[in-house]
């Protein structure tokens, strides 16, 4: 299986900050990476697909980049509703695998 490693595991930030989360794949996955947001007690929500495609309805402060093995999710001007956990997921090879998650805390 392709291993997905996220860093950091958690980050403390304030409203208005810019937060960057990194995801590294154990092998080349081209641009086949997505990002999800999950709030406590809620189902995950797709934010980014194909490394940089912003899902419909997702605020423009969320952006993704990268290709190959290294990817980033950037949240610009952090809002109160952005405090959540974030997961990357590769869709290149079965089985798709998730990163371990990054918790964005106040």
Partner 1 sequence: EVQLVQSGAEVKKPGESLKISCKGSGYTFNTYWIGWVRQMPGKGLEWMGIIYPDDSDTRYNPAFQGQVTMSVDKSLNTAYLQWSSLKASDTAIYYCARHRVKGSYYANWFEYWGLGALVTVTS
Where does this chain bind partner 1 (CB under 8 A)?
A: 32, 34, 36, 38, 43-46, 49-50, 55, 87, 89, 91-92, 94-101
Least distance in angstroms from the C-beta of 34 to partner 1: 4
d(CA 49, CA 35): 7
Give the nearer residue to partner 1 in terms of CB position, either 69 or 89.
89
Give the nearer residue to partner 1 in terms of CB position, either 62 or 87.
87
Least distance in angstroms from the C-beta of 71 to partner 1: 14
SS3 content of the chain, % helix, strand, coil (to 5): 5, 50, 50
Least distance in angstroms from the C-beta of 68 to partner 1: 15
Q: What angle do CA 95, 104, 24 make, to 5 degrees?
A: 40
Q: What are phi and psi of 21, to 5 degrees?
A: -115, 135
């Amino acid at each position: 299986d392709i291993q997905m490693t996220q860093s950091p595991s958690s980050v403390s930030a304030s409203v208005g900050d810019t937060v960057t989360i990194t995801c590294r794949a154990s092998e080349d996955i081209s641009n086949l990476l997505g990002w999800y947001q999950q709030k406590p007690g809620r189902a995950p929500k797709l934010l980014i697909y194909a490394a940089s495609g912003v899902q419909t309805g997702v605020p423009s402060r969320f952006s993704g980049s990268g290709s190959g093995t290294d990817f980033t999710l950037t949240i610009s001007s952090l809002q109160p509703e952005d405090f959540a956990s974030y997961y990357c997921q590769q869709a290149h090879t079965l089985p798709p695998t998730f990163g371990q998650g990054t918790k964005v805390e106040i």
